A and B are shown apart, each in its own frame.
Chain A
C-alpha cells in the first residue's frame, strides 16, 4: 500500500512559485503530489499532520557544512551532522571537501556518497576540491569528480592564490556547468592573523586580518567570473567592502553570488574582548559597520544565500591560547532561529523572502531541479516551522557531536518542529 501524507491547514510558503497561503500539502511516497491527480480507486496508508498556525516550507538547504568524516570523526560524522541538520530544519546539506583525506578524487566522492546513503537522515551532497590536495597548485580531476556526483567545486578553508590556476579552474567549471564556491582570503595579507584588524586587535595585541584580504579575492573572482562565464559563489562574506563589490557585479548581471553566516550577521570583533575562542572564526568577525552592511546585503538581495559554515571542533581544541585555537563554530541547529530573530522579528524580510534564501536560491546555485520547491512532483523534502515556539539551545537539544557555539544556552523564538526527507519524518520535535 502506498503511503500518503496530508499536511493539513498549514501556511504553505513556497518561494519558487511566490506562494504564501493556507492550505493542505500532499505527499505520495517520496514526492509532492497534486491531490487532484490521486486515483480515487486506490487505497493508501494515510498519515495526517495537522499544521494549523505552522509554516510549511520546502526543506531547507545549507550549502556550506563541514561534516569532518572521513578523518575527524571525534568532531562530527556524516550521521551526526545530518541529524543536527534535520533538527535545524535542513533536508539537504552540501559537505565541504576539506576532510582527511580531502575530496579530490572520485573514489572519495563515492565513499562519502555511500556513507551518506547508509548513515545520513538528510540529503548529503558532496562537493570536491578545485585543486589537488586543496594545495592550490594543480587542478583536481574536475570532470571525473563531476561524473562521480559532486554538486560544486571548492577548496573551502583554503583559497587558490595563483590567479592563473583559478582562471583555469573557472574555465573548466564553466564547461562542466558546476559552480565554483570560493573562500576568499589573500594569504600574503593574513600571515599569522587571528582576528579582524582594527581597534580590538590593537587592544588585544592579536595579529590583525584586514578586510581587504577578503575584498581583493572577491574582486579577483568578479573579474575572473566576467572573463570565464563560470558560475561563481563567494563564501561567508564578512566585510562591507565585499558586499559593495558583489552588489556592483550583480547589478552588471554577472553570474556571481554570495552567502553570509549566522555569526557574521550576529556578532562583531568586540566579542573577542575576553579572548573567547568560540568567536574565533575564518573569516573573522568584523566591525559593527560591516555587520550592518551584511544585514543590508541580505535585505536588498545582494547576498542571496544564507549558509552556516557549520564547523565542529572538540572542546579541548578550543580550550587553548587564542592563537592556537582552530577557527570555526557550529550553526546547523540554531541558524534558522537566528535568521528568524534577525529578519522576521525585525520585520525586515517577509517569510517568503527569508525562505527564498534558504531554499530556492541555494537549489538554483547547485542546479537542483526537484529541491527547494513544493511544486507537484518535487522531492518530498518539507520543513514545518513553528514561528512562535519559545525554546532554549541547551546541551541536550544539540545532536551535533560538538558544542563550539556561543549560541549555546541562548533563548530563541521559532524553530523547525518537523523535518521530512523524501516523505520520511527524520525529525519531530514532539517525539525528540
Chain B
C-alpha cells in the first residue's frame, strides 16, 4: 500500500476508489473493535483533535468527539456559542490560534461553502470537513456507502433515489460523488426549485415526480426538509411537500421489499418520512449513526497516520 496521500479531507471528489476502499476497510476493522468490551485503541495517543463547530451540530460533533476519544486523542470542542466568533475574530485567526496551541487535526463545521478548503490551504494542521454550507459533508457520504454495502453488498448499477432539498444539501453532493465512484445509478427527486436541471451536469438524473421511480429503487435516501430555514419562495409548505414527496406507507407499498430507506438525520417524522417507516426494518437510520463512529475513526486514523503506510489497524 502507498502512504495515505491527503493532508485533509475536504471533499469526496479528492478520493480515488482505492482510497475510498481503504477508508471502508479501516472502518470495518474499527467497527469490530467497537464491539469489544474495551472500545479503545492508542492510535492517536498524544494527538490533539479540535472540533471547531462554527455552525452548531450536536450529533456530528459528538460522533467526531467519540471517534477521537476511542483513538485516545485529546479532544477540544469549540462551538459557535463559546468561540471567539461572537467577538468578531475571523475564522483564519481562530484556526491559527488553535494551530499554535498544538492542534493536529481540526474538524470544521461551518455554514460557508469552501471554508474547509480555505483553512486546508492555509494551515499545516489536518482539516476534516464536517459540513461546509451547501458544499460537502464527506464523512456522511463515506458512512452512507459503508451502510449500503453492509446491506446490499455491491453498489454497481444499484438504483439510488435521493429525495428532497438537493440544492441546499451538502449531504446530497458528497453522496453523489461517492455513489458514482461505486457505479450506482442516481436519480435526484424533488421540486424544480430545490432540484434544478443543472444538477444533470454532475452525471445524475433529475426527476420531479417520486412515485414513478419508487418501484425500481434499491436505495431511497431521504433528506431533511429544513422548512424553518427555507425561504418561502422555494417551498409552498410542509403539507404540499408531504403530498408530493413524503415517504408514506402507501408509497412504501410501491417499493421493492428489499429496498432500504436512509436518512442522514435528524429527521422530521411525518414530513419527509412517516414515523412507522423510520422505525421499520427497511430503515437504516440507526445503523448509519453507528457506522458513522467507525468511519470517523477511520478518517482520523488515515489523516493522523500521515506518511505512515496505509495499513489496517489491528488491536
A positions within 8 Å CB-CB of B = 191, 198-199, 202-207, 274-275, 316, 319-324
- Interface residue count on the B side (C-beta < 8 Å): 26
Q: Which residues of B contact A198 (CB under 8 A)?
A: 198
- Which B-chain residue is minimally distant from A197 (CB atoms)? B198
Q: Which residues of B contact A206 (CB under 8 A)?
A: 113-114, 133-135
Q: Which residues of A contact B110 (CB under 8 A)?
A: 321
B294 to chain A, nearest CB (A): 27
B306 CB–A CB distance under 8 Å: no
Q: Is the CB of A275 within 8 A of B114?
A: yes
Q: Which residues of B contact A316 (CB under 8 A)?
A: 90
Report B129-184 residues with CB < 8 Å from chain A CB: 132-136, 167, 170, 173
Q: Is the CB of B114 within 8 A of A204?
A: yes
Given contacts A198-B198, A323-B112, contact A205 B117 (CB under 8 A): no
Q: Is the CB of A321 within 8 A of B91?
A: yes
Q: Which residues of A contact B170 (CB under 8 A)?
A: 205
Bound-complex Cα distance A324 to B202 (A) = 27
B174 to chain A, nearest CB (A): 10
B53 to chain A, nearest CB (A): 15
- Which B-chain residue is minimally distant from A188 (CB atoms)? B233
Q: Is the CB of B231 within 8 A of A322?
A: no
Contact partner of A202 (CB less than 8 A), chosen from B114, B133, B199, is B199
21 pairs from A and B in contact (CB 8 Å cutoff): A198-B198, A202-B196, A203-B202, A205-B170, A206-B134, A275-B113, A275-B114, A275-B118, A316-B90, A319-B90, A320-B90, A320-B91, A320-B92, A320-B118, A322-B112, A322-B115, A322-B118, A323-B111, A323-B112, A323-B113, A324-B112
Contact partner of A205 (CB less than 8 A), chosen from B91, B173, B201, is B173
Contact partner of B201 (CB less than 8 A), chosen from A191, A199, A207, A324, is A199
B245 to chain A, nearest CB (A): 20
- Which A-chain residue is minimally distant from B168 (CB atoms)? A205
Q: Is the CB of A204 within 8 A of B202?
A: no
Q: Is the CB of A274 within 8 A of B117?
A: yes
Q: Which residues of A contact B167 (CB under 8 A)?
A: 202
B166 to chain A, nearest CB (A): 9
Bound-complex Cα distance A205 to B134 (A) = 4
Q: Is the CB of B112 within 8 A of A199?
A: no
Contact partner of B112 (CB less than 8 A), chosen from A191, A202, A203, A321, is A321
B69 to chain A, nearest CB (A): 29
Q: Which residues of A contact B90 (CB under 8 A)?
A: 316, 319-320
Bound-complex Cα distance A275 to B136 (A) = 13
